[in-house]
Amino acid sequence: MQFVDEVKIHVKSGDGGRGCLSFRREKFIPMGGPDGGDGGNGGDVFFEVDEGLGTLLDFRYKVHYKAERGEHGRGKKMHGKAGESLTIRVPPGTLVYDDETGELLADLTAPGEKVLLLKGGMGGRGNARFATSTNRAPRHFQPGTPGEERWLRLELKLLADVGLVGLPNAGKSTLISAVSAARPKIADYPFTTLVPNLGVVRYGGYKSFVMADIPGIIEGASEGHGLGTRFLRHVERTDLFLHLVDLSDLQAGDPIERFEMINRELARHKPELLEKTQIVVLTKMDVTEVREKAEEVLSSFQDRGYRTHALSAVTGAGVKELVEILGREIETRHPPKREEPAGEEPA
């Protein structure tokens, strides 16, 4: 599935129906009087979170959304039917902005969360509403008010408990494929991962957490270099970072300097990102040259106050232990997510 995380759409609520100008005309009733009914209200526009969605792809194929208008009033004091409201479903983590002003209108994160963004127009009153003791044959009626309309910008920020950051080819995609059912593309060249990937990681029985594989960050990413700011925003809602460090020949330069460079890019994008917990993970421990350097590099990170771990996602060494560490860390922040096995009733 194509990953789309920013779109622009045009949304309009329904217009109110027109009130009716009508007089009762029946045989043998010479003074029938006014009987024009009211117009119906236009439909509202709601946005609702659908946890089954993971991308804004559908909005690439349909840009204009419009709620139903209210029906016009009719004679015999028949009121017009209200227009049907429109509910637009979006994935968790969607922000809705007014495209013209840049105002944030809604931040939709919780499954099932529903907000009213555009109110439908009011139906106009028919002439029967204006009859008085001194004006028994009013010829006045009201048109319905128009619905609201806006160009909206939808932006998706992934919701994940753990975010994987690191240079291209640091082993992020290999790790998430080893601990979850996510299957990102894996190859030995930079920027293999072009879109973020989410995976559900299970641990300790039926508990689980969500891990996000963020495309590789390079120097200047906060200014738009490489994949730039397009994907940096997906780390903003992450509780915990796994900062993957690759000591193999695929990465040139000092690993500490590479680590600090990525942190500088995170800080330039949003300074509070550095306040989040980071665990340094050395990858590719199945490679001899990596094992030879590992102890010294781990000590250097520990001296800087970081917790460290070493693993090989290819052989599985250290992977299970890392998952348990992450599970315990996340449980200190949020209640664990429990998933019941299929075919069994919850206890």
Q: What is the mean pLDDT of residues 33-58?
A: 92
pLDDT of residue 121: 96
* Residue range 1-156 in CATH 2.70.210.12: yes
Separation between Cα atoms, residue 279 and residue 256, nearest integer Å: 14
Residues ≥6 apart with Cβ < 8 Å to 106: 47, 94, 95, 96, 115, 117
Q: What is the pLDDT of residues 90-144, one digit of tens each?
A: 999 999 999 999 999 999 999 899 999 999 999 999 999 999 988 988 999 999 9
**In one letter, which amino acid is 3?**
F
Separation between Cα atoms, residue 37 and residue 29, nearest integer Å: 19
Q: What is the mean pLDDT of residues 256-267?
A: 88
pLDDT band at 196 (very low <50, low <70, confident <90, very high): confident
Spatial contact of 108 and 67, defined as CB atoms under 8 Å apart? no
Q: Which residues pair with 213 in a beta bridge?
A: 164, 197
Residues ≥6 apart with Cβ < 8 Å to 171: 244, 246, 283, 284, 313
Query: Is the pTM above the cut of 0.75?
Result: no
pLDDT band at 54 (very low <50, low <70, confident <90, very high): confident
**CB contact burial 139-176 (16+ within 10 A = b; e otherwise):** eebbbbbbbbebebbbbbbbbbbbbbbbbbbbbbbbbb
DSSP state of 65: E
% of the chain at pLDDT higher than 90: 46
Spatial contact of 225 and 217, defined as CB atoms under 8 Å apart? no
pLDDT band at 215 (very low <50, low <70, confident <90, very high): confident
- Of the chain, the end-to-end C-alpha distance in Å amounts to 36
pLDDT of residue 225: 43
Please give the CATH architecture assigned to the domain spanning 162-338. Answer: 3-Layer(aba) Sandwich (3.40)
What is 277-327 written as a DSSP string? EEEEEEE-TTSHHHHHHHHHHHHHHHHTT-EEEE--TTT-TTHHHHHHHHH
Q: Which residues pair with 280 in a beta bridge?
A: 243, 308
Each domain of the chain, given as residue ranges in start order, spans 1-156, 162-338
Residue bearing the bigger pLDDT, 309 or 337: 309
Nearest-CA neighbor of 163 among 262, 310, 256, 291? Answer: 262
